[in-house]
Structure 1
Amino acid sequence: MYPPEPWHLRGQMYLSIFLIPVRSLPPLPEVLGAAVRPLSFGGRAAVGAAWVNYEPGGVLHYRELLSAVLVHERGRPRVSITDIWVDSVASMEGGRRLWGIPKELADLRVDTDGDLVDASASVPGGGAAIGSSLLRLKRRLPGRLPLGFTVAQALGGQVKRTPVRGRSGWRTLTAAWRPDPEGPLAYLAGRRPVLSLAITDFWLTFGRAATSPRVRFGGQENAADR
């Protein structure tokens, strides 16, 4: 069983941005590909790959590896998650059913030792490697900054648009990514990120709060429901 939306989450994220030839991107589901297009920079798309450690204090705590492409929908920026693994059944089922996020299960490790982070993911039960990274946190940037973006996924034959809002600290980061060249993240193999950042001690709200239906009395809306 998984929590209803919105999910309130907190933790650490280690993010790298790659510029990947658009022709090398994994295809989007048909209904989504008809609505959005990758944002192209000289024939290259911005792809974000991240390790996330969701910590106690949120509705769920688990580890995650994801890859997402920056797209636009009639000029509005969106994020579309193409590959994602978690080590929580509740997260997998909730992500798929609430928002159309194609989560799979994996054995994940995100170990920290001071400013050094050693992360890896593999198919459950001692299966093939998906990828690993060695990350080193650097300079801390001042203050805590807001986070805000919209995730666009395919769900039930339609495009599901999900807001994400939060706040976090930021640190610069050096990242060595080692995706399996024969695995699902092969399109990142041998590439260096153009930018890497640690999004530290974040809290975020993923999804929308449930809204009550408006009640009418004698053909008039209840003013309290406006």
Structure 2
Amino acid sequence: MTYPPEPWHLRGQLYLSVWLLPRARLPELPPGLAERARPILIGGRAVVGTAWVRYESGGVLDYRELLSAVLVSVGARPGVSIVDIWVDSEASRAGGRELWGIPKELAAFEFPDPSQRASAVTVAATTTGGVPVAEARLSAGTRLPGRWPFGFPVTQTLHGRVLGTPVRGSARLRFGAARWHPNPAGPLRYLAGQRPWLTLSLTDFRLVFGRRPGDRHRGA
């Protein structure tokens, strides 16, 4: 499967929900990372971010995505580690895994518009069915003026090494709301019965994922 070389220039719409979870509910970090990274706690609770994303034309790929990531630190360096992620693009799945160690799986999405209901069902390679992952009702609220920059490293393991991949971009920002319904028997069951602490809508975002030519490779 071919995919674009890094960095990936992407654009689209994103709904981010931030959760404060008891540490006992945290999903496992990727293999090889648990020994090096520790979750960052706020008031004894771990910080988990989930996002529904619609990548649109104008970037190197257009597809839909659902992800869950944990805020971690490796030494003194903070970052986010993606623990669960689904896409509806074979190219995105292959590139995420091979370039950055992101454990992307395939899913079928119902995500016609960011302000409507979103749902994801895993795509099983050997069967005709899949497992429901989650549903959510998304809505956008008050818009903040201007475009807001953002940047952070995504911390994963690749070929036995801990790798920090830079993400940077900007977006229009709105306070939002999300009513989540994760499948209590599915892969996001650690969110079942919990409520997001905060939801933000990043509209018309533009981001660069990965290193530009000449950037120094960053391990951890």
1:117 aligns with 2:120: no
How far does the alpha carbon of each residue in 1:79-118 deviate from its partner, in whole angstroms, 9 at most, with x for none? 1000000000000000000000000000012122xx7321
Residues 171 and 198, structure 1, Cα contact 8 Å, conserved in 2:
yes
Give the match for residue 169 of structure 1: 172
Give the match for residue 61 of structure 1: 62
Residues 5 and 208, structure 1, Cα contact 8 Å, conserved in 2:
yes
Give the match for residue 218 of structure 1: none
- Superposed CA RMSD in Å reads 1.5
| Secondary structure of the corresponding residue to residue 106 of structure 1 | strand
Residues 67 and 82, structure 1, Cα contact 8 Å, conserved in 2:
yes
How far does the alpha carbon of each residue in 1:11-68 deviate from its partner, in whole angstroms, 9 at most, with x for none? 0000100111112111113421122110012321010011000000000000000000
Alpha-carbon distance between aligned partners in 2 of 1:212 and 1:102, rounded to the nearest angstrom? 24
| 1:29-40 alignment, distance < 5 Å | 29-40=30-41
Residues 30 and 83, structure 2, Cα contact 8 Å, conserved in 1:
no
Alpha-carbon distance between aligned partners in 1 of 2:163 and 2:206, rounded to the nearest angstrom? 23
Residues 63 and 109, structure 1, Cα contact 8 Å, conserved in 2:
no
| Secondary structure of the corresponding residue to residue 90 of structure 1 | helix
| Secondary structure of the corresponding residue to residue 96 of structure 1 | helix
Q: Which runs of 5+ in 1 are unaligned?
A: 214-226
Q: Which runs of 5+ in 2 are unaligned?
A: none
Deviation at 1:126, TM superposition (A): 4.0
Alpha-carbon distance between aligned partners in 2 of 1:76 and 1:137, rounded to the nearest angstrom? 32
1:197 aligns with 2:196: no
Give the match for residue 189 of structure 2: 186
Alpha-carbon distance between aligned partners in 1 of 2:111 and 2:185, rounded to the nearest angstrom? 22
Alpha-carbon distance between aligned partners in 1 of 2:7 and 2:115, rounded to the nearest angstrom? 32
| 1:76-225 alignment, distance < 5 Å | 76-112=77-113, 116-124=115-123, 125-211=128-214
Give the match for residue 71 of structure 1: 72
In our comparison, the structure showing a higher alpha carbon Rg is 1
Deviation at 1:210, TM superposition (A): 2.7
Amino acid at match of 1:154: T
Deviation at 1:77, TM superposition (A): 1.3
Normalising by the residue count of structure 2, what TM-score does the alignment of the two structures yield?
A: 0.92
Alpha-carbon distance between aligned partners in 2 of 1:201 and 1:50, rounded to the nearest angstrom? 15
Give the match for residue 6 of structure 1: 7
